[in-house]
Amino acid sequence: MSESEKERVIAAEVIVNAWKDEAYRQKLIDDPAGTVKEAGLALAADCQVTVLESTSTVSHISIPRFEDMAAGDKEQFMADLAKLIPVPAGLELRLHQNTENERFLVLPLPPHQAEELSDEELMMVLGSGNGGAGGNAGLFGGNGGNGGVGGILGGNGGNGGTGGFFG
């Protein structure tokens, strides 16, 4: 597993925990760097982490540092970003660029049935698994299957799939 894939899995685990446990969610908001470090994410000592909570009217997207992306990943990112336009009426889209010293963790709205889903199923919603044939791997990456979508925070798109934004 590559370092970026490991980071996506850790981010997905943190988000699932925040969805399922209000005390953990509050801990994440109050001390995001400490919480993600505790979960296993390696951060530089001077790196700030900001949690961005999406709502029904505001959707946040964390943009990777372009200098860390391969040429093909940059092109894929721009293609994925273009798919979000036009933005639906009533929704504000906010883009946040990660830097060497600042990282953004988007906390999306949980799925409607979150309390009924297992941690593994919630990880699939976030895209930590395989999207399957034509499936949607979720908001945070994973492996899109044939025609699948990898998600917002990255992952590997399958045949016809897209890898997402956090690569």
DSSP labels for the chain? --HHHHHHHHHHHHHHHHHH-HHHHHHHHH-HHHHHHHTT----TT-EEEEEE--SSEEEEEEPPGGGS-HHHHHHHHHHHHTT-SPPTT-EEEEEE--SSEEEEEEPPPPTTGGGS-HHHHHHHHT-SB--TT-B--TB--B--TT-B-BSS--B--TT-B--S--
pTM over 0.85: no
- pLDDT (tens digit, 0 to 9) for every residue of the chain, 167 residues total? 677 778 888 999 999 999 999 999 999 999 999 999 999 998 999 999 999 999 999 999 988 888 877 777 888 888 888 888 888 899 999 999 999 899 999 998 887 766 777 778 777 776 654 443 333 444 444 444 433 334 444 444 433 333 433 43
